[in-house]
Amino acid sequence: MSAAARVAARNRRAVLMMAVPALVVIAALIVVPYVNIVVMSFRIPSTSKLYLDGYTLGNYAKALTDPDGFYFDLLYDTLRLALTITIGCLVIAYPVAFHLARTTSKWRGVLYGLVLSPLLVSVVIRTYGWIILLGNNGLINQVRALIELPPLQLMYNEFGVVLALIHVFLPFMILPIMGAVQGIDPRLEEAARSLGAGRTKVFLRVLLPLSMPGIQSGCVLVFILGCGAYVTPALLGAGRVHTITTEVITLLDQFLWPFGAALALLLSLVGLAAVAIYAWLAGRLMRGIA
């Protein structure tokens, strides 16, 4: 073996050794729990202990062949809720991210802080904050009462859950888009304008395609987080907004862990399929725009 080959082999070993701690953490915190969930989903449910001896496909059969379609309805509601949250976050986040990426204002640091501030507060505390605002006797309805307007039902429905979750997940949409926009050379927009392109065409033909990696990252993050959200739907929905996640927690409380694990895995698989379809459609859209 030549000296260069020995150096290359030594460098590869060094890189591998540096990656070992990260691989161990990933295996311990992600791979092992997922394998445990997969194995659990094939166990036989029991209400007196975690599961009975043996394995079965009955948990998946129960979810997929439910005659009333209850679990399909839950899955549909979960995906619809996550999609609504993702669209809401995108509509709000893009102009905010674009402004933060391009502004030279002395208040730029303050704006960054406002965007990041929700991440510094627990989801539970933020949800209780929305309860104070949206409750039947909350701040909004108290103000409406002062001006002699009828109260609004802002809580215990899907509206309140969507509004609160958009607030919770908005930073996860703003930050990736902001990073993508910061990587776009402003001279490209100036060049397009100098060639006669209007603002709309500059956005559609220059800014949107070049910022699409940030949009895709933000949408995937928010959609996945929306599918798995539990605290906010449980508190603001108060049992009237049902998702697969809230049903899984209910099953775990009833010690039906194998069936709950099967539902969680089905949600994961459907969520991954939805993300793959989105990536394919986004790719086709960008090729059409280009």
Cβ burial of 197 (10 Å; 0-12, 13-18, 19+) is middle
- Quick one: DSSP state of residue 45? P
Write a three-state SS string for 198-214: CHHHHHHHHHHHHHHHH
Percent helix, strand, coil in the chain, to 5, is 80, 0, 20
Residue type at 127 in one-letter notation? T
**Residue in 216, 205, 204, 214 with CA at minimum distance from that of residue 282:** 216
**pTM (predicted TM-score):** 0.85
pLDDT of residue 79: 92
Contact partners, residue 176, CB within 8 Å, separation at least 6: 213, 214, 215, 217, 218, 221
Place of tokens 């309860």: 131
pLDDT of residue 12: 76
Label residues 164-195 b or e (16+ Cβ within 10 Å = b): bbbbbbbbbbbbbbbbbbeebeeeebeebeee
For residue 52, what are the β-bridge partners?
A: 44
The encoded tokens of residue 59 equal 């948990």
Please list the pLDDT of the chain residue by residue as tens digits (290 residues).
566 667 666 777 777 788 788 888 888 888 888 888 889 989 888 877 778 888 888 888 888 888 888 888 999 999 999 999 999 999 999 999 998 888 877 887 888 888 888 788 888 888 888 888 888 888 888 888 888 888 888 888 889 899 999 999 999 999 999 999 888 888 888 888 888 878 888 888 888 888 888 999 999 999 999 998 888 898 888 778 888 999 998 888 888 889 989 999 998 898 888 888 888 887 777 666 55
- The answer to whether 108 and 100 have CB atoms below 8 angstroms apart is yes
The encoded tokens of residue 106 equal 């002395």
**Residue in 211, 185, 206 with CA at minimum distance from that of residue 195:** 206
- The answer to whether 225 and 169 have CB atoms below 8 angstroms apart is yes
CA distance 214 to 118: 20
- The answer to whether 273 and 66 have CB atoms below 8 angstroms apart is no
Cβ burial of 94 (10 Å; 0-12, 13-18, 19+) is buried
* Phi, psi dihedral angles at 53 (to 5 degrees): -70, 150
| Residue 271: count of CB within 10 angstroms of its CB | 21
Could you give the 3-state DSSP secondary structure of residue 53? strand
